[in-house]
Structure 1
Amino acid sequence: MTVSAAERRTRILQVVRDLGTVKVVDLATRLGIPAVTVRRDVAALADAGELARSHGSVALPDTGPQARPGRPDQVVGMLVPTVGSYFDEVIAGARAAAATAGARLVLGIAAYEARDDRAQVDRLLESGVDGLLLTPNWQPGDPPPRPGDQHWLAELPVPAVLVERKAAPGSPAAELDAVGSDHRHGVLLALRHLAALGHRTVLLAARADTWTAHQVRTGYTEGAPLLGLGTRPVIDMHRPGAPIAVPDPAWVAQQIAEAAADGVRAVLVHNDQDAIQLPPLLRNRGLRVPEDVALISYDDVFAALAAPPLTAVSPPKKAVGEAALDLLLRRLDGPPGLPASHLELLPALKVRTSCGGDGAAV
């Protein structure tokens, strides 16, 4: 027999009256109701002032601190498009912040190719998470991002924070909390450094298949004119016309060598994994880093391990994870109706051997 929403909520209130403070996941188990449904009912009861929510648990309002014996453990679900390289540090930051707060982090992976964000989020919700840190697979080639792709994000039954993603203005997901790196500022740091070395034109070699790559490309288009720098068409790390869309560093090195023959000897490369392969390929073409070409990589995951060590733009990856987790906990702990926060953290430039310059380069 189907139980109405009113009946479910009456049963929820009765259990809370009997037990005082109850974790939402325990409430779902006790009532034999899916956790997702209980969260929706709890949210409605809280909005009506009949329940108070805190730390993933519920209690009657104005029951006082004596009815809360301590902070219950919280479970935070985190969705990322990959593990390894960039997101390892973001995850590490969130994990450290969760441990400090007494919370537990549960990881879900929706690979770039799979595009199954919603299915992975549903699995995290079924596991009983109290809140979500989300890095959706919004690709630069999408109609940025399609409204239909975002409505479900605005209808989640638990609080959520976007991580290293910014929703389209006016879209439902734009009303979610968000924490990310200001990649356009990161590109500006690189361009400014190269300009200070005397370069008047800077190349960009970049991927085109990730959110960060799109931000880096936009930062280059916007930043170079601000500094009075000349630009060239972006060198795509995926060689045009190749049967398989995989990075082709040898082809990129050839494009850089041809530009160097025209006097352009400064290049920003997204990302480290691709940039680290370029110095030996350029050397095979008669160009040394940094003597003949100044090279900056973007991401700073492997840059220090290159030969020579690469100057790199370093987004605050760990700090992004920490700030996102802290923001989510504040959302869980705070009163209803708090305004959404959009927080952008600034990257830094780590200057290493790969950026020499004699002031005569263009």
Structure 2
Amino acid sequence: MDVHERQQRILAELRLHGSLSAADFATRTGVSPMTVRRDLRELADDGRLRRVHGGAESVDASPYAALRHRPAARTVPDPLQPAAPLFTLGQVSPDPSYHFPPIVDSAVERARALGGRVVLGVSRYQRERESHQIERLLAGGVDALLVTTTVADSFEVLARLAEVTIPVVLVERSVEEAPVGDALESVRTDHAAGMVLAVKHLVELGHEHLRVLAYDTPTTPFLRQGLDRAVRQLGLDEGADMVGVNEVDGPGEHLRGLLEQAVADGVTALVVHSDHLAVDLTGVAVASGIDVPGDLSIVAYDDQVAALAEVPLTAVTRPSRDIGALAATMAFERLATTDTVSASRHVTLRPSLTVRSSTAPPH
């Protein structure tokens, strides 16, 4: 560890435990006691800790209310983090590919910066596997959980998570409509706001008749809410609708039929969820002689591969890395506070719009 990483580790440990022994910290991190004492002196001079005989005490007063939970420093080796981690976060993700890797990566980076580690469990959108991964992580003694449920309304899973005695943060999921789990915390993308961004962009270009094409995913209900909001705010009246896409049929004739119907209905712009579907649809459009964006503007919802389409796609970009980092931070803050009153936090982050070549004013 360099001096910055070492001092951040000292401050993280003080937040978790309230005090620190210089000799013990030196042994666990493999640095000299003299180096640790120098770090403590510098941090004390900056007012970030209080030196006491043999070590230091925290001067932080955390503004967050939470459960009393004080994990001990771990002894599990990590080749990327030689010092024993202060805490372990268990993270359950439904998919090791597409949208979730940047969320996991940023959670891992944030946990490491705070002196902890992440243990991953993948559910592959299978409810039984999801429950198994949660129980496995709990049995392994993780200090907090970051969980993305397989579907938005996994009430049975939420009820189980509400029973555990460690902090739980739902990732890209909400408990707003659930009858259980209201004490759980959450951080997610504001997908309704993302849809408003997409529709507003198209309306500002002059499109008056647009359509949303979407697979049925946990994101889709929020996209519908956003579309309804955009219709009200922008006065589209009957100028926007939403059509479900059959994921099983895949590209080809199914997408060609959706395109032909849109053109026949006078649609001049599409918002397409997800960007994998948008990439396929753009290829079918170009092959069918439809000029993108001359005849039809296309906005992808998600921005994992949108730039790689035959016509690089304007896309709503999720704040994936911010989601993962904030989820890990929220879990750590729950671990680090000594307050006894618990007020759950539900955070939504706005996506952004990345404009590329697939949108233009209608002819």
Task: Provide TM-score, normalisation by structure 2.
Answer: 0.74
Q: Contact 2:255/2:284 (CA < 8 Å) preserved in 1? A: no
**Post-superposition shift, 1:261?**
2.8
**Post-superposition shift, 1:259?**
1.9
2:320 to 317, 327, 351: 317
Is 1:188–2:201 an aligned residue pair?
A: no
Q: Deviations over 1:214-246 (max 9, x none)?
A: 32233223322321223455322216xxxxx35
1:6-155 alignment runs, 5 A limit: 53-54=69-70, 56-57=71-72, 73-139=86-152, 144-146=153-155, 148-155=156-163
2:289 to 286, 290, 312: 286
Instruction: Tell me, in whole angstroms, the C-alpha distance in 2 between the residues paired with 1:170 and 1:108.
Output: 24
Q: In 2 relative to 1, CA 95–306 (structure 1 residues): closer, same or farther, beyond 3 Å?
A: same
Q: In 2 relative to 1, CA 246–291 (structure 1 residues): closer, same or farther, beyond 3 Å?
A: same
Q: In 2 relative to 1, CA 285–158 (structure 1 residues): closer, same or farther, beyond 3 Å?
A: same
Number of matched pairs: 288
Instruction: Tell me, in whole angstroms, the C-alpha distance in 1 between the residues paired with 2:160 and 2:88.
Output: 21
2:17 is matched with: none
Is 1:166–2:156 an aligned residue pair?
A: no
1:228 is matched with: 235
2:46 is matched with: none
Instruction: Tell me, in whole angstroms, the C-alpha distance in 2 between the residues paired with 1:164 and 1:269.
Output: 19
Q: Contact 1:205/1:252 (CA < 8 Å) preserved in 2? A: no
Q: In 2 relative to 1, CA 231–81 (structure 1 residues): closer, same or farther, beyond 3 Å?
A: farther
2:25 is matched with: none
Q: Which runs of 4+ in 1 moved over 6 A?
A: none
- Partner-residue secondary structure (3-state), 2:121: strand
Q: In 2 relative to 1, CA 109–285 (structure 1 residues): closer, same or farther, beyond 3 Å?
A: same
**Post-superposition shift, 1:145?**
4.8
Instruction: Tell me, in whole angstroms, the C-alpha distance in 2 between the residues paired with 1:163 and 1:246.
Output: 30
Q: In 2 relative to 1, CA 250–213 (structure 1 residues): closer, same or farther, beyond 3 Å?
A: farther
Instruction: Tell me, in whole angstroms, the C-alpha distance in 1 between the residues paired with 2:150 and 2:181.
Output: 13
2:184 is matched with: 176
Instruction: Tell me, in whole angstroms, the C-alpha distance in 2 between the residues paired with 1:115 and 1:236.
Output: 27
- Partner-residue secondary structure (3-state), 1:162: strand
**Post-superposition shift, 1:264?**
1.1
2:343 is matched with: 339
* Amino acid of the structure 2 residue aligned with 1:137: T
Instruction: Tell me, in whole angstroms, the C-alpha distance in 2 between the residues paired with 1:159 and 1:233.
Output: 40
1:166-315 alignment runs, 5 A limit: 166-169=174-177, 171-208=179-216, 210-229=217-236, 230-231=238-239, 233-238=241-246, 245-248=248-251, 250-315=253-318
Q: Contact 1:269/1:275 (CA < 8 Å) preserved in 2? A: yes
Q: In 2 relative to 1, CA 170–288 (structure 1 residues): closer, same or farther, beyond 3 Å?
A: closer
Instruction: Tell me, in whole angstroms, the C-alpha distance in 1 between the residues paired with 2:127 and 2:230.
Output: 33
Q: Contact 2:251/2:281 (CA < 8 Å) preserved in 1? A: no
Q: Deviations over 1:130-150 (max 9, x none)?
A: 1100111224xxxx454x442
Instruction: Tell me, in whole angstroms, the C-alpha distance in 2 between the residues paired with 1:169 and 1:215.
Output: 12
**Post-superposition shift, 1:71?**
9.2
* Amino acid of the structure 1 residue aligned with 2:227: Y
**Post-superposition shift, 1:251?**
1.3
**Post-superposition shift, 1:187?**
0.3
* Amino acid of the structure 2 residue aligned with 1:271: S
1:354 is matched with: 358
Q: Contact 2:93/2:147 (CA < 8 Å) preserved in 1? A: yes
* Amino acid of the structure 1 residue aligned with 2:72: S
Identity %: 32
Let me know the Cα RMSD of the aligned residues. Answer: 2.5
Listed as ranges, the gaps of 5+ residues in structure 2 are: 1-20, 22-66, 74-82
Q: In 2 relative to 1, CA 252–234 (structure 1 residues): closer, same or farther, beyond 3 Å?
A: farther
Q: In 2 relative to 1, CA 247–334 (structure 1 residues): closer, same or farther, beyond 3 Å?
A: farther
2:79 is matched with: none
**Post-superposition shift, 1:173?**
1.2
* Amino acid of the structure 2 residue aligned with 1:165: R
